[in-house]
Amino acid sequence: MIPALFAKVKAEAFFLVLLAVAAVGAWLYVQYRQVSADRDDLQHRAELICAGSGTDFAAIGKTARGVRCAQTVAGLVKFKGDSDQLAAATLAQAMADHDARQNNDTRAARAAAEAASSAAQRMEMADAQAERTNLVDRDWFRAVNGVAGLRAAR
Amino acid sequence: MSTPIVVKVKDTPPAELLRCADRPEGLPEDPALIAQIPTRIRAGIIRLARSFAANADHLDRLINWNTPAACRSPEG
């Protein structure tokens, strides 16, 4: 039984080899088509990505394909990072400036209010003295100058 | 190449608006000068003096807000 099968196989050896070669060829062909389709798709996507960044994917002169595009994209990434950093620094500085102004102004306002309040007290006292006679002298004038925040006229 | 997304805009008002408050000399403080001023006039003078100081301080604070330390502090 088995020797008979062997004999038959031997007789058809050529055809079997051919079949095996054809199978391998077909398998390789399918592989090739898949790889080829995959490569075309990748190239297409690379071209789309590069076009989005404003450059060509294709080789230009001695520059290999994709190199200029990669440089452009790297530049864009750097630009975005630098811009973000500068914007953050500008905003932080603006906030710090505002706080400093606020503090300075609060201090100035408090000083002005204190000066005005003590000048008003002195004015009240000086005016009370002039109440009866309506006669005003140096003290009253000085108090008025104090309320106005002015120095005396010579 | 790098441009910030946010820039600080310095919108400076005209120089005329940034002039510090004018503080002229006030009344003379001469011991020889004595005046008779009715109460209502005295009250008016005091009102003027008070509002002068308030407005001048206000203006200086506003200018200092825009350009720090441009005008001397009010009590100076």
**What is the per-residue pLDDT for B4?**
64
**What is the per-residue pLDDT for B70?**
86
How far is the C-alpha of A101 from the C-alpha of B62, rounded, in Å? 10
B20 part of contact set with chain A, CB < 8 Å = no
Maximum alpha-carbon separation in chain B = 75
Chain A positions touching B27 (Cβ under 8 A) are: 141, 144-145, 150, 152-153
**What is the per-residue pLDDT for A44?**
94
- Please tell me which residue of chain A has the smallest CA distance to B49: A148
Higher model confidence: residue B72 or residue B19?
B19
A83 part of contact set with chain B, CB < 8 Å = yes
**What is the per-residue pLDDT for A7?**
86
How far is the C-alpha of B62 from the C-alpha of B56, rounded, in Å? 10
Report if residue A97 sits inside a domain.
Answer: yes
- The domain of A109 spans 2-115
**What is the per-residue pLDDT for B50?**
95
Report if residue A46 sits inside a domain.
Answer: yes
Q: Work out how many domains chain A is built from and give that number.
A: 1
Report if residue A7 sits inside a domain.
Answer: yes
Secondary structure (3-state) at B76:
coil
Q: Quick one: pLDDT band at residue B3, thresholds 50, 70, 90?
A: low
* Mean pLDDT of all residues in B2-24: 83
- Please tell me which residue of chain A has the smallest CA distance to B28: A153
CA distances from A13 to A8, A10, A16, A19, B53 (A): 9, 5, 5, 10, 119
Distance from CA of B43 to the nearest CA of A (A): 9
Cross-chain residue pair B33–A141, CB shorter than 8 Å = yes
How far is the C-alpha of A146 from the C-alpha of B11, rounded, in Å? 36
pLDDT at B9 over 90: no
pLDDT at B37 over 80: yes
Which residues of chain A have a pLDDT value below 50?
none
How far is the C-alpha of A139 from the C-alpha of B55, rounded, in Å? 24
pLDDT at B76 over 60: no
How far is the C-alpha of A149 from the C-alpha of B21, rounded, in Å? 11
**What is the per-residue pLDDT for B2?**
59
A132 part of contact set with chain B, CB < 8 Å = no
Q: Quick one: pLDDT band at residue B75, thresholds 50, 70, 90?
A: very low
Report if residue A130 sits inside a domain.
Answer: no
Which two tokens mark B3? 């441009």
How far is the C-alpha of B22 from the C-alpha of B65, rounded, in Å? 18
Q: How many CB atoms lie within 10 A of CB A48?
A: 10
Compute the Cα dihedral for A97, A99, A103, A108 and give only its sign: positive
Is residue A141 a contact partner of residue B16, using CB atoms and an 8 Å limit? no
Cross-chain residue pair B25–A150, CB shorter than 8 Å = yes
Say what the pTM is.
0.68
How is chain B split into domains, by residue range? 37-76
**What is the per-residue pLDDT for A153?**
87
